[in-house]
Amino acid sequence: MSLFLLLEEENKIIKEFSLLKTWEDKYEYLIFLSKKIPKMDKKYKNKNTLIKGCQSKTWIHAYINKKKIIYKADSEANIPKGIIFLLIRIYSNRLPKEIIFYKENFIKKIGLINFISFNRVNGIYYILKKIKEYALLYK
């Protein structure tokens, strides 16, 4: 199990956000990241992949490829889509056990919970819950 790679990616994200001094800069960066997320096939945008509790409609789908989980996700709004991009950077293409045992710290360390709305913070936790559920399903 290579939690080191997860921590390495987390540290990259923390470093990126440390360069952004204002909440406006962080919002702009999330919008920039939202444009980098790969398109999610419409057939996966359904009630089973819809994240309940998110402010904007947000979907996440997962499948196994060579024993690793691949996540695909999308949202109707740019800020959640940027956040999803960060989560996919951390969790996608990992072994289920890595995902289950990994305790994400980057959300607090980059100050995400300090500059987005309470509803969006809750949405992040609902997305993380779904990510972990997929990992438990595929372990």
Residue whose C-alpha is closest to residue 60's, from 109, 116, 129, 118 = 129
Residue 69, φ and ψ in degrees, nearest 5: -90, 135
81 vs 113: CA distance, rounded Å: 16
Q: CA 112: distance to chain centroid?
A: 12
Closest CA relative to residue 129, chosen from 52, 22, 19, 30:
52
The token pair at 24 is: 């406006």
The residues assigned a catalytic role are 54
